[in-house]
Structure 1
Amino acid sequence: MIEVSGIGLHSGERATVRFHPAEGPVRFRVGGVEIPARASAVVDTLRCTTLGAQGARVATVEHLLGALWLKNLWQGLLVEVEGPEIPILDGSAREWLRALEPLPANPLEPLPLPRPLRVLEDQGQIVAEPAPEFRLSVTITFKHPLIGYRRFESPPGRLAEVAEARTFGFLRDLEALRAQGLAHGASLENTLVYTETSSLNAPRLPDEPVRHKALDFLGDVYLAGAPFRGHFTVHRGSHRLHVELARALEGLLPA
């Protein structure tokens, strides 16, 4: 068994995660209730992705699921959670990958994407097109001198390059988020924080925000239940948009 503890990004409460090898698909266990790692189990996408079943919930699953994607671990794992959300740790997937290192990969054969898919939300969109292998193109646009327009593509970039990219936000939004019951665990230890013209802490990479958006995409689309071969183009993605695509992909799984 592997155990990891920390605070939740939004609740600010302490939480513990334990990884147990277990036959079958990846799933969470919260208070004795098992919740599948599937898009059909998503109950909320406000600022994070939350899964739920039978009154049990677990929030902020996306970074851990992104680490599972990067590790190619798609089955044979039960994730036991004590607390309202998955610990944020350093705000990226890097520490999750370190924790998962003793576990072997448990891959599934990638499925072909049978037809193009497109999901839209305000100015954001995702287009998924059939391709011989998995490809990802992510773009973001922010009116900020340190961000602006950024693009991450894999290939030529390696998917592993998104692992250390932390969640990010803007100092101007903090008070409003906390009024909504969010970001109570956010700090300079786990979040890249931007002021109007600069950042309060140093970015790990010049394009850290777009790499983090790519990580979020991988984590959310992991909820399709299996990897797919295709070219996924994400512009101004969001948890809701990612999960909408994941639901469409889940519907394509073999019976």
Structure 2
Amino acid sequence: MGQPVAVRGVGLHTGEVAVVRFHPAEGPVRFWVGGVELRPLASAVVDTSRCTALGHGALRLFTVEHLLAALYIRGIWEGLVIEVSGPEVPILDGSAQEWLEVLREFPPCGPLPVPLSGAVRVEEGRSSVLARPDEAFSISATILFPHPKIGYQQVVSPPVPLEELARARTFGFLEEVEALRAQGLIRGASLENALVFNRYGYVNTPRMLFEPVYHKALDFLGDLYLAGRPYRGHFVAHRGSHRLHVELARLLQVLG
């Protein structure tokens, strides 16, 4: 097998620097953190408050969703051990684009997509996620924010390529920064790794029209990786959240 590939960066929430090493290895994709193996499965998720975190006992690995989305896009379900030297996967530029480039070093590997046997839906208030049978894989997301530059947005892939979703960065609001940092969050956030809004518009320049909803679809894709295998079906997130995404993945994991 090939040689390990390493990436270094800072965590979005912890602000801690970590090195991620990709080791070709037989078996399912898994993380290796502090001498502990963590499988990227919904049953291993321990936190979905501001990101998706895996855990075992007291051990935590935060913000796995962008890397998992890149694995999904590349079709890599087997053949890698991902060693992380810190408590959080680096945010890099806030998207999954750099992870996708790194993973081009490794071939697609894993099971073929299986058809969904029926529809699965999870709801909470006005938010919902849905998986329903279809002939091929597709994903869609909608968001609604009372902001002049966001409002209602929707994306469906295809026709939008999954690789285009990977370019979309995480986003946030300038007025929330102080409160979030007081909670010990977004210590590694900057204008270099996030699209930031003030009350009236953009603080920095978006990469694309509708970048926020593209990123929400990317997060959804990463959380769907936690089902443990690819499926043929249409996956819909309406005002989704990591909690709802992961619950859908958990139900899919249980149903097999």
TM-score where L is the length of structure 1: 0.97
Cα distance in 2 for partners of 1:159, 1:75 equals: 20
Match of 2:221 in 1: 218
Asked if 1:241 is matched to 2:206, the reply is no
Does the 8 Å contact 1:7/1:14 carry over to 2?
yes
Structure 1 CA distance, aligned partners of 2:135 and 2:154? 22
Deviations 1:162-216 (A, max 9, x none): 0100000001111111111110100000010000011110000011000000100
Which runs of 5 or more residues in structure 2 are unaligned?
none
Deviation at 1:24, TM superposition (A): 1.1
Report matched runs for 1:26-37 at 5 Å: 26-37=29-40
1:202-217 equivalences under 5 Å are 202-217=205-220
State how far apart, in whole Å, the 2-side matches of 1:196 and 1:77 are: 43
Matches within 5 A, 1:1-255: 1-253=4-256
CA contact (8 A) 1:5 1:15 kept: yes
Deviation per residue, 1:119-139 (Å, 9 max, x gap): 012321012111111111211
Partners of 1:111 and 1:179 lie apart in 2 by 44
Deviant stretches of 4+, over 2 Å:
none
Deviations 1:212-249 (A, max 9, x none): 00100010110100011111111001100100000001
CA-CA distance at 1:107 after TM superposition: 3.4
**Local SS of the residue matching 1:182:** coil
- Looking at structure 2, the residues matched to 98 and 185 of structure 1 have their Cα atoms a distance apart, in angstroms, of 22
Instruction: Structure 1: state its 5+ residue gaps.
Output: none
RMSD over aligned CA atoms reads: 0.9
- Of the structure 1 ranges 241-250 and 123-132, higher mean CA displacement relative to structure 2 is found in 123-132
Query: Do the aligned residues in 1 keep the contact of 2:142 with 2:237 (CA within 8 Å)?
Result: yes
d(CA) in 2 for partners of 1:215 and 1:199? 21
User: How far apart are the structure 1 equivalents of 2:8 and 2:163?
Assistant: 23
Secondary structure of the corresponding residue to residue 230 of structure 1: strand
**Secondary structure class of the residue paired with 1:251:** helix
The one-letter code of the counterpart of 1:143 is P
Identity of matched residues, %: 60
2:14–2:186: 8 Å Cα contact kept in structure 1? yes
Q: Aligned pair count?
A: 253
Residue-by-residue CA offset, 1:4-31 (whole Å, 9 max, x unaligned)? 0110000111011000111111111111
Name the CA distance, whole Å, in 1 between partners of 2:140 and 2:63.
Answer: 23
1:96-127 superposed Cα distances (whole Å, 9 cap, x missing partner): 11111211111321111111111012321012
Task: Kindly state the Cα deviation for residue 54 of structure 1 after the two structures are TM-superposed.
Answer: 3.5
* Alpha carbons 1:33, 1:54 under 8 Å: kept: no
**TM-score normalized with structure 2 length:** 0.97
The answer to whether the 8 Å contact 1:38/1:224 transfers is yes
**Which residue identity lines up with residue 170 of structure 2 in the other structure?**
T
